[in-house]
Amino acid sequence: MQVYKEFDLSEILWYKIGGITKYFIEATSEQDVKDAFDFIFQHNIKNYFIFGMGANLLFTDNYFDGAVIHITSSPIQDNTSDFMFGNQHTEITTSSQSDINVKGDCISAFAGITLDSVIQTGFSNNLMGLEWAGGLPSTIGAAIRGNVGAFGGEIKDVTKEANLLRIIDNSYNETQVPSSNLAFSYRSSVVKKDRSLIVLSATFQLKDGTNSEIEKAKLVYNNNIFYRKQHHPDPYTYPNTGSTFKNIKEKEDIDKILTVWPDIAHLVATKWYGKVSVGYINNRLGFSGYHIGEAQVSPLHTNFILNRGKATAADVEAIIRTIQKKYQETFGFMPEPEVEIVHS
């Protein structure tokens, strides 16, 4: 475990947006996560937040007077580098290794391991079942919490169990929870509903494949990455958090849209499988390329908001509020953000 003080979160979060946190704790193993909470209890820190890659987070520009725990398998390499971290310094250092293990057709992984590492480990062991997640940026912990999904697959379909830490007052306990008790639903799980739960690790039951089946699974994986590259803005050029709003699936809201734009009824029925694409609506409402400061609605996909350089959380949030207001005026309801907005 490493603890940094006065750490600039924009250096590390996927969006390259975020203010200074009083403590920044890197946890690269299950033991590290427990040590991080011991540190929090010992220092009587009341305000804490955990993250994995930060691929779904818009973190406040304001000072975070607490601790941010980074559950990761990729720790900051050179923690004394002035170039990267100014005069911040490490206060505590213990070391431990991130874990990923294969047993039969099951892979167990520490929460900070990326979903992609699990997919690759599967392929190397002739195991498949996660190829739908090609190109989906996530750690295992966040993937379980949000029941990530894409191209018809969801993490719940291959999850066998998860090892959870429950934080109660100034202590914690650990439990092994079978998939059936994780209360998975669309982009949600018991971990999302209960902030006191932290994913320490998870086990996935994959499928043994023949060589030709594994080759096919790799093709699906690569095609999904290719699809994302073609249809989504490149997060490495201009950081973004994927879809800003959830697509609209409530019948009441869909009806409100169809009352104003009856011409898209056929798209709802055929192309969007009963939902309404927020990207389409945003585009038709004229938001393509719309910007505030250096935050911009992507012209390639109008449900993505890009950080074109030095965008702040306030800029991105202002765009979100502007779009919501336009929906309210046009249709009489507001779309719900998919990105998680974290205030201090």
Ligand X SMILES: Cc1cc2nc3c(=O)[nH]c(=O)nc-3n(C[C@H](O)[C@H](O)[C@H](O)COP(=O)(O)OP(=O)(O)OC[C@H]3O[C@@H](n4cnc5c(N)ncnc54)[C@H](O)[C@@H]3O)c2cc1C
- Contact residues: ligand X, CB under 6 A: 14, 50-57, 71, 111, 136-139, 141-143, 145-146, 148-150, 191, 198-199, 232, 235, 240-242, 340
Shortest Å, Cβ 123 to ligand X? 20
Residue 339 CB, shortest distance to ligand X, in Å, is 8
Q: Please, what is the minimum distance in Å from the beta carbon of residue 184 to ligand X? A: 12
The alpha carbons of the chain give a radius of gyration, in whole angstroms, of 21
As measured in angstroms, the least distance from the Cβ of 138 to ligand X is 3
Q: Between residues 46 and 266, which has the closer beta carbon with respect to ligand X?
A: 46
Nearer to ligand X, 122 or 242 (CB): 242
Q: Which is nearer to ligand X, 9 or 55 (CB)?
A: 55
Nearer CB in complex with ligand X: 44/237: 237
Nearer to ligand X, 325 or 343 (CB): 343
Least distance between ligand X and beta carbon 318 (Å): 20
Judged by CB, which is closer to ligand X: 248, or 331? 248
Least CB distance to ligand X at residue 220 (A): 14
